Chain A
Amino acid sequence: MDWYAILEFSRGPMFYTALLVFMAGMTYRLFSTILLGWQADRVPNRGSKLRGVAVSYLKGFGIWPFFPWVKGTLSRNPVTYLAGGLFHLGLFVVIFLGTAHMLVWKSLLGFGWPTLALPIIDWLSAVTIVAMIALAINRRINPVLRLISGPAEWTNLIIVFLPMITGYMTTHHLWFRYETLFSLHMLSINLMLIWIPFSRISHFMFYFFSRTFHGAQAGKRAVAP
């Protein structure tokens, strides 16, 4: 098989097609969601919307890793708290502070930024991969999670797992040639980009959407979000 041609295709036309699908898909989701649920809130303002939003974000970003006791998050869901938190941290650091990834952003945005040393990124991605495996096992054995896990949840997990594992393999030149691994990494990323708007991975955008919205609603009613 001609992996060079596959690589050229997957980091060329296929990548930017996937990127366009991703952009169109996310705007579609945003617009249709905003317009569907927009109804007048007739509750009189008894508190502060801004305060509600601020508390909402503070809890959102502070519970992991600073206030594990708030809402009993750690004690109720230790695996989700630890593995889920590490997974998100690792994912963001690798995507934005990995040298190879920064170069992708640079080529798309036109500017770059300093990155972390490879060994740090490398260990973090290993931690992320282990965390994902732990989350998958937890999803399988936790009775509540099992009940609410359908094909969509498993597909999401696999689709995010593939770029992580192929990226790790590419860095370490594991088992296959570099261009093969690089192609697999790009193919899995393209698949993920296309899949994101139609799945719950789109929470990376709706997270902020709902934090703001629910924070404001709770603030207006003077209750803790």
Chain B
Amino acid sequence: MAEETIYQRLRRQGMSRRQFLKTCGVLAGVMGLQYAAPVVASGLPERLARTPGPARIVARALASKPRVPVLWMNFQDCTGCTEALTRSLSPALTDLVTNAITVEYHETLSAAAGVQAEENKQAMMKQYAGQYLLVVEGSIPTAADGVYCTIGGRTAVDLLQEAAAGAAAVIATGNCAAFGGIPMASPNPTGAKAAYELITDKPVAHIAGCPAIPEAFTGTLVHFITFGALPELDSLHRPLTFYGQTVHDRCLRRPFYDAGRFAESFDDEGARKGWCLYKLGCKGPTTYNACAGLKWGGGLSFPIQSGHPCLGCSEPNFWDRGGFYQGQSAPVGRPTITAAGAALGAGAVLGVAVALADLAQRKAIG
């Protein structure tokens, strides 16, 4: 018997055809499929290329493909990305993640524990070798032979390499897995590394953020299901659909930036009037993420909207890039008074020495 398709599985769970098509529409929207390569690159003018409809592209894929097993590995993380995903207020997406896409192994969500869970993981890796999607959450410690993070007596490095060997693709969710995040922040006591530093032979997509935006994660996942490959990525391996623009470019406070209206402190009149938070250290201009567009809590708000400057959590090393409340343009760190004094002193000594040498020379000449 052919393997059950995602559509069949959803129907069996009681989803109507209408609900299914609606879901597909939402998913196509989340992926930004209107402009995605497969639609535009069909060779037809944009007007005609739309005729099959992005929703139908997704519907066809979900109706013809079997579910995608997901192996979810947690390492040095706070499980915030999982939390964000399970608390995502987009029911269609959460449904899809929990039903259509089978999370075969997830330490936080799984009911089984201990040996049973490990056995299930081994069986799954064998059954779906070369097909499953590996999701990594958290950085991987490498110092002291990786003893800082072990599961079932095995190190994170070992577990990751084993899981990656049979994966079709890897999604590193959250800043920790994508760029090392907080565990990798100076002085990095555990020798934490990002997933891509250890997985070099598989395609890796980074859903950066702290936590990753659930819709960005799900959108990438659905893209993998629909097209059998990861979406188009930027130079830091982040899907362009979600990380193509800076927070600054889509920010609702942007007009105030352009008009030079800035909040000077968190409780002044500017802050109350919703002016730009640039002077309070907003990292929006160099942060590529979908926060300002998709927002959080079902499109309710995002940090800048609720009055806090962007920390730049979807960028590498965001923890070590100067103060969170220091202006974006300010240099990272500054010379110490001692260094400045030494520079001034050295200049003065050199200046006097050169002048004296010159004077001596002039005297000698007479």
Name A's B-contacting residues (CB within 8 A). Answer: 2, 4, 7-8, 11-12, 15-16, 19-21, 23-36, 99-101, 103-104, 106-108, 115-121, 173, 178-179, 182
Tell me if A19 and B257 are in contact (CB < 8 A).
no
Tell me if A99 and B335 are in contact (CB < 8 A).
no
Please tell me which stretch of B48-56, B88-96, B156-164, B315-323 contacts chain A, meaning at least 4 of its Cβ atoms lie within 8 angstroms of it: B315-323
Tell me if B331 and A35 are in contact (CB < 8 A).
no
- Which chain A positions have C-beta within 8 A of B335? 16, 19-20
Tell me if B259 and A119 are in contact (CB < 8 A).
yes
Summed over the interface, the residue pairs from A and B with CB atoms below 8 Å come to a total of 123
- Which chain A positions have C-beta within 8 A of B43? none
Q: Which residue of B lies closest to A5 (CB)?
A: B316
CB distance from A125 to the nearest CB of B (A): 14
Which chain B residues in 291-333 approach chain A with CB under 8 Å? 315-317, 321, 326-333
B347 at the interface (CB under 8 A from A): yes
B346 at the interface (CB under 8 A from A): yes
Tell me if A31 and B351 are in contact (CB < 8 A).
yes
Q: Whole-angstrom distance between the alpha carbons of A99 and B352 in the complex?
A: 39
Size class of B's contact patch? Answer: 35 or more
Tell me if A99 and B317 are in contact (CB < 8 A).
no
Q: Whole-angstrom distance between the alpha carbons of A119 and B350 in the complex?
A: 44
Tell me if A29 and B351 are in contact (CB < 8 A).
yes
- Which chain A positions have C-beta within 8 A of B262? 99
Q: Whole-angstrom distance between the alpha carbons of A134 and B301 in the complex?
A: 49
Of A12, A28, A100, the contact of B327 (CB 8 Å cutoff): A100
Q: Whole-angstrom distance between the alpha carbons of A28 and B335 in the complex?
A: 19
Q: Whole-angstrom distance between the alpha carbons of A35 and B334 in the complex?
A: 31
- Which chain B positions have C-beta within 8 A of A182? 285-286
Tell me if B326 and A23 are in contact (CB < 8 A).
no
Tell me if A106 and B330 are in contact (CB < 8 A).
yes
Tell me if A31 and B334 are in contact (CB < 8 A).
no
Tell me if A118 and B257 are in contact (CB < 8 A).
yes
